[in-house]
Chain A
Amino acid sequence: MDNLGTIGTTEEQIELMDVATNFCRDKSPIDKVRALIDDDLGYDPGIWREIGELGWLAIAIPEAHDGVGLSMAEVVPIAEQMGRNLMSTPFGSTTLAAQALLAGGSEAQQAAWLPKIAAGAAATLALREANGDWDMANIDATGVESGGKVTLSGKKLLVLWADSAELIIASIKIDGAVRFALIERSALGDDALRRETVIDETARSYEVNLDGVIVSADALFDAGRTRETLEKIELAAGLIHAAEMTGGAQSVIDYTLEYLKTRKQFGKIIGSYQALKHPTVNNYVEYEKARTHLYSAAHSWGEQGRGEVAVRMAAAQSHSSYSTSADRAIQFHGGFGFTHDCDAQLHRRKAILSGALIGDAAYQRSKLASLLFD
């Protein structure tokens, strides 16, 4: 079997790991995370600015477009720490939009947008629709081209941080073929966006109504690169979410251990009971596996074949590990676990949203099976 990923690191990755660990821990304490749940914007614009200044949005953008010229491997430690600290910002969606531009955008489109993103402009992807299918080619939104203009129609769902994004990259069909259109936020009327109630209260998501939106034909990605773009988006999203979920799993395990070490029942610390101890160890083992797969996915990123196997393994393992450990965390906190005040629920909800966005563990495995066995 030679399409399995390997593991390794870069100096930059290790450096970013340290910086991101401290930054996310300091800037995203849990009371702040909770305060932002009731905030319209859903993130702290000051922190977003700092993230831009740290150059984190520029990491995987080529130097020619004012980026740092590294790869998604170096984005991973940041997303991991953001997930660990439940730090919500448009970081993930912006990074994915940049990857989409790199895969499918023309030279002119890249030159127009990548430097802006590298400097801190938010962007997002509008891919999902009402059919709920994870297959990104199964869409109904359309564009009709005429006289150098494209008139769009249809609805896109689960568009993260759309309200903050200066650029929205939407998938549509033109003459039956999937295409991507660059839509400036300013081209959308205010009533084109409806804030959705999503299960993860720390995220912000919007339904985007494309009806009557007109973009220039120059704002379309090249028809010949659709497939490549779809693949790149799927993998980049898998990697970023795997990183967030792995970080989240670490956090939820730490949070549970804290309780198991302090709460007493029947005169004993509950963590001394094997009924709690052993499943916690099982969750921990699954988490370490997720982390190993994550670093393998980062390391194998960009390698033909191997990259996809490694990313899907990481996505599957992190989703199942995050879901299970958060589920058990709720249980192991007893009555308090059932409250909104218990942080375990924040993680359980986040795992559900991540799975909904990229495809859950079972979906990742079904894709993997074809890569491994057929």
Chain B
Amino acid sequence: MADKPSAAELKDYAEQADAWFKENTVRDPGFMLPLTFMEVSTDEQFDFLRDWQRKVYEAGYLGASWPKEYGGGGLHSEFQRVATRAMKKYDAPIMLNAIGNGWAGPLILDLGTEEQKQKYIKPMLSAEDIWCQGFSEPENGSDLGNAQLKAVKDGDEYVLNGSKIWTSLGDRAKYMILLARTDFDAPNKYAGLSFFLNPMKIDGITTSRIKKLTGEYGFVQTFFTDARISADCLFGGEGNGWSMAMKTLEYERGAKVKPVGGFFVKELDVMEIVELAKNSVRNGKPLLDDPVMRDKMTQYMIDIQALNLNNTRRRMPQLMQDRPMGLPLMNKLARTELIRELTEFSLAFQGTKAGYYVGDENAVDDGYWHRSYLNSFSATIGGGTSEIQRNIVAEHALGLPKTR
């Protein structure tokens, strides 16, 4: 990696980044922006976010610390951190290509061939190629290792049959990271799996949109019917699919990071909730005078502050003795559950208006809080449910025996 920058270099960079995001960030494009990459629903949202990501990449604030030879900026990761802080400050929109930049990209950079890095990384950063993930199946979600989509080798090709579900951005993506079964006679279910960098826009692959509980769209079911892909799409060797999938999940769940920049899920700004509470009335008085609500709100402030500081603490090994993997492994669980609780709590502030939803002129903040609450489950279910996360923390951080 590049040398650790001096304070002066970082300061210069921070000023540039600050100025750039101040000038270029559009917070309100005139329609509702998604809070997470799993909620991109309309063409309008998709086009806007794709342009936004390209713009940030071209300005050098995305992938700033990724290798230059594949399209990154080649800088030290501190620079990326500074740039991301500027995005947060100006409340920048999320990055669209989360599965590409967040997990497929790091995986390819870590384990891919030179050719794969040359081919995939740059268009991924610029949002030219959108990526999706084909892990879950209708019958196998949490039990990923049981995936059944069939990949049968036929000469220089694999023939795919089966279905994947809950595929975020599946109808927009050019590539999918795909977990499929190449050997049905393997000694155990994990050994028969292989991992592919699979092209989506080919014959035999179709998608159908699924309506979400919010009323929006955003994920699809993907069908594979004798779809033929080149054997070159195999990644990590036949039979190594489980290990590739686990490496991907380390990135997805935040246990490992290769900071690309920006965020895939909008950061929750607690002050917005405090404001909401301050502007709400209960029995003719400000809601924050109500001792029960005050107490709950305070506990949430304590929780949010702890999670934010955890992110700093996990970079300080001296403060991480005993169970160094504890904070990284609990990160997804703690953050997503807190967001769910908080957004639910925000409904309690709204009194009679809690009855309205997006689209009604009486809805508080255009229904933002309701939509946020309903969408918050995307993160407590997607990427491994909270229950599965608890198993992971228990088994990998606390050393408890496996449940199965």
Spell out A's residues near B (CB within 8 Å): 1, 4-9, 14, 17, 250, 257, 260-261, 268-269, 271-274, 277-278, 280-282, 284-285, 288-293, 295-296, 313, 316-317, 362, 365-366, 368-369, 372-373
Contact = CB atoms under 8 A, between A and B. Distances in A.
A292 B298 contact: no
A280 B330 CA distance: 12
Interface string B368-404: 0000000000000000000100110110011111110
Interface stretch (B89-97, B178-186, B242-250, B315-323): B315-323
A272 B393 CA distance: 13
B358 interface: no
A309 to B, nearest CB: 9
A272 B400 contact: yes
B399 A261 contact: yes
Contacts of A285: 330, 333-334, 393
B288 interface: yes
Contacts of B312: 6-7
Contacts of B306: 288-290, 292-293, 313, 317
Given A278-B394, A292-B313, A272 B402 contact: yes
B326 A284 contact: yes
Contacts of A313: 301-302, 305-306
Interface string B289-329: 00100110111011101110110110010110110001100
B295 A289 contact: no
B313 A365 contact: no
A365 B302 contact: yes
Contacts of B285: none
Nearest to A372: B301
Contacts of B298: 316, 365-366, 368-369, 372-373
Contacts of A250: 322
29 contacts: A1-B274, A5-B305, A6-B312, A7-B313, A9-B316, A17-B321, A257-B398, A269-B401, A272-B402, A274-B390, A274-B391, A277-B403, A278-B387, A278-B390, A281-B390, A281-B393, A282-B390, A285-B334, A288-B310, A289-B302, A290-B306, A292-B306, A313-B305, A362-B295, A365-B302, A366-B298, A368-B302, A369-B295, A369-B297
Given A277-B403, A372-B301, 16 more contacts: A1-B271, A1-B274, A4-B305, A9-B318, A17-B318, A274-B391, A278-B394, A280-B398, A281-B390, A284-B330, A284-B398, A289-B302, A313-B305, A365-B299, A372-B274, A373-B294
Most chain B CB inside 10 Å of its own CB: which residue of A282, A289, A293? A289
A75 to B, nearest CB: 16
A282 B337 CA distance: 11
A260 B399 CA distance: 10
A260 B400 contact: yes
A9 B270 contact: no
Interface residues of B, number: 44
B54 to A, nearest CB: 33
B278 interface: yes
Contacts of A8: 316
B401 A272 contact: yes
Contacts of A277: 390-391, 394, 400, 403
B309 A284 contact: no
Contact of B305 (A14, A272, A293, A373): A293
Given A17-B318, A313-B302, A274 B403 contact: yes
A257 B400 contact: yes
A32 B333 CA distance: 39
A289 B307 contact: yes
B294 to A, nearest CB: 5
Contacts of A268: 401
Nearest to A268: B401
A251 B394 CA distance: 17
- By Cβ-Cβ distance, the 9 closest A-B pairs, closest first, are A289-B306, A271-B400, A365-B298, A272-B401, A281-B390, A277-B394, A369-B294, A278-B390, A369-B298
Nearest to B295: A365
Nearest to B318: A14
Contacts of A296: 305, 309
A269 B402 CA distance: 10
B146 to A, nearest CB: 19
A6 B305 CA distance: 9
Interface string B268-296: 00110010011000000000100100110
